[in-house]
Structure 1
């Protein structure tokens, strides 16, 4: 498992296991969060949940999960493996020993570098996940840019027209293929700039609180944290990170869900200004309650799966 003194492969494998666990736990609320942030017509979180259930049944909450299950596990493997190994390289460089405890500055640098690295893998994954999550059982005429009027000449709202049994994407592979054909490779990285704004500070507010809470919950400085402590620390860190990242996450979700021949948003700044002018400052906190709730069990499961896997591999 260990390839060198400072680089360890089992960090990546443990991240893979933790990532798979967290996807299953967090995907239903992630679907609700995406619909709230990028969609229209939902009054609040409860209304969104009930609407999805009534129109799409329980399976609606797991829409698009096959792709995250396959890809986000690899993504989390890269994130946790990169973060842990970066910590060791920083300790080796600064203190001459890769096992030397990291200072708060070391943790911040490692976290922010991890956030920057994560975008290269995470942007396409998030884009496909969101495009699949935003598909309802019918394609709205508004999304197809259709217009029309009634027989008496009166106009009717575009969002009220539905075209049953027509879906934009048949699945993850078809979604990727369609994006590449219509938008090119750069299309897979739409919203990547907003993701950078979300993930660089977001990962700092993910790993640092986790480390602090774990240290506070340990019985003494030399012992390993109890699994319950890991679960609590990971959950709290996840809630903190996702709540603070919500404004940038809203912008990212809106840009990635923006499909069709005529783009609503020209770029990050235009998306921010347009969203603020049309919906007010509160739009940037849409889905914040879902993020707080979803962030706890998802991150708790992630960290617990990661840490327990590490302990298992260390004993081999």
Structure 2
């Protein structure tokens, strides 16, 4: 059985840090405060991406070894990439759900203790009424402790079902296009894509994945932001039904342009950092 290789995790951390730095301003356009909450995702989302890419690389090798044997030099088939992508979704959501929830809550700092109401608009966009009272959260640790105190351990995993429905197909639509585009753009006679191909393939893959994930991202973000002052949604289906009844079908596609646009530079930066670091670590 293939042993776990740590270089994928290290390269994933570098790529994740690069994607956070590039994408955070665009990420916060859909919520509040241009650079609010940057320190937390920079420290945590980089680790999250490290796990995602580390799991992907190792899962893909394990699947190929199981299917084709240890000595096979055959590259992964599309089905192998899709299966490894699904594994990534299953593993990372368990880690990423609390991270994502805390990030969204920290970006809601225009919402205060005395505010009357949240108005969520598409893909987690938050417009709120601020009054002259203390912010809800002083930082990540205070945010976590407040959620645990007010909502319990399940509060940290609010929206986890929607996140699974977003991320398992989302990762398939991330890694499969990336592999196909890298293969298509690979120079003749080369065994690895050049960095320009990596950048372009990663950017396009990010646009595809984030663009198609928008409807479930809307649901996920609404569920995660729910419960601050009141609980409006009983679950995924109730959130979908209530959102559709009050705002129509278009509500699930608001933010698609922002998601697709931010997906390109973020994913390009992540895959560039990942592949470049792998080349260094593996002496290629």
Same fold per superposition (TM over 0.5): yes
**Where do residues 104-253 of structure 1 align in structure 2 (5 Å cutoff)?**
104-136=78-110, 141-143=115-117, 162-220=130-188, 222-253=190-221
SS of alignment partner, residue 163 of structure 1: coil
Q: Structure 1 residue 21 and structure 2 residue 18: aligned?
A: yes
**Preserved CA contact (<8 Å) 1:235 1:300:** yes
**Preserved CA contact (<8 Å) 2:117 2:229:** no
How far, CA to CA, are the matches of 2:117 and 2:40 in structure 1?
A: 23
Cα offset, 1:83, TM superposition: 0.5
How far, CA to CA, are the matches of 1:139 and 1:180 in structure 2?
A: 17
Residue aligning to 2:58: 85
- Distance 1:169-1:5 versus aligned 2 partners, 3 A rule: same
Per the normalisation by structure 1, the TM-score is: 0.83
**Preserved CA contact (<8 Å) 2:111 2:136:** no
- Distance 1:9-1:311 versus aligned 2 partners, 3 A rule: same
Residue aligning to 1:148: none
SS of alignment partner, residue 170 of structure 2: helix
CA RMSD, Structure 1 to Structure 2 (Å) = 1.9
**Preserved CA contact (<8 Å) 2:2 2:65:** no
How far, CA to CA, are the matches of 2:51 and 2:87 in structure 1?
A: 12
- Distance 1:285-1:161 versus aligned 2 partners, 3 A rule: closer
The Cα offsets for residues 4-42 of structure 1, whole Å up to 9 and x where unpaired, read as 954211000000010011101101111123x2xxxxxxx
How far, CA to CA, are the matches of 2:12 and 2:128 in structure 1?
A: 44
How far, CA to CA, are the matches of 1:135 and 1:308 in structure 2?
A: 36
- Distance 1:298-1:160 versus aligned 2 partners, 3 A rule: closer
Q: Structure 1 residue 269 and structure 2 residue 237: aligned?
A: yes
SS of alignment partner, residue 62 of structure 1: coil
Cα offset, 1:113, TM superposition: 1.3
The Cα offsets for residues 33-92 of structure 1, whole Å up to 9 and x where unpaired, read as 3x2xxxxxxxxxxxxxxxx6xxxxxxx211111111111111001000000000000111
In structure 1, runs of 5+ residues without a counterpart are 36-51, 53-59, 145-158
- Distance 1:312-1:161 versus aligned 2 partners, 3 A rule: closer
How far, CA to CA, are the matches of 2:202 and 2:160 in structure 1?
A: 26
**Preserved CA contact (<8 Å) 1:116 1:200:** yes
**Preserved CA contact (<8 Å) 1:139 1:164:** no
Cα offset, 1:261, TM superposition: 4.7
How far, CA to CA, are the matches of 1:74 and 1:248 in structure 2?
A: 23
Residue aligning to 1:152: none
